[in-house]
Amino acid sequence: MVVGLFENIDHAEIALNNLAEAQFRNKDISVVMADKSQVKTISVGRGPLSGDFNIRIAKTLGRGGLSESDVENCRNLLMKGAVLIAVSGPAESDDAAAEMLADNGAVFVSELTGSI
């Protein structure tokens, strides 16, 4: 699974559109925001992390292999309105997903390697 954090909702929407055009499935795309009502305005993704916030997102990202400082940074930015997009799917698609997230303005991109 690859995660990207966007400070700008517009960049997140563009990334989501590009992922859809590249045939990533909605069920493999998670969108996480502090305000769950906003998630529905930009995504129909139903991935494994969708809507997962607060303590659960920190635990999930930590189990995935992110450092405590990266987890705390993600959580703080989410509290300020950032958007986290997670893309799960075949391992061979991770590099393409990471590149799309980075190219569309993600301020942080990482591949989660631990068990989610």
The pLDDT tens digits of the residues spanning 43-93 come to 776 777 766 566 677 788 888 889 999 999 998 999 899 999 999 888 899
Number of domains, the chain:
1
> What does the mean pLDDT of the chain come to?
87
The pTM (predicted TM-score) of the whole model is: 0.89
As a whole number of angstroms, the distance between CA 1 and CA 79 comes to 22
Burial (CB count within 10 angstroms: exposed 0-12, middle 13-18, buried 19+), residue 69: exposed
Confidence of residue 3 (pLDDT cuts 50, 70, 90): very high
Which structure tokens are listed for 8? 């700008």
102 falls within a domain:
yes
Q: Which residue range forms the structural domain that includes residue 13?
A: 2-111
Check residue 24 and give its pLDDT.
92
Check residue 13 and give its pLDDT.
93
Check residue 11 and give its pLDDT.
95
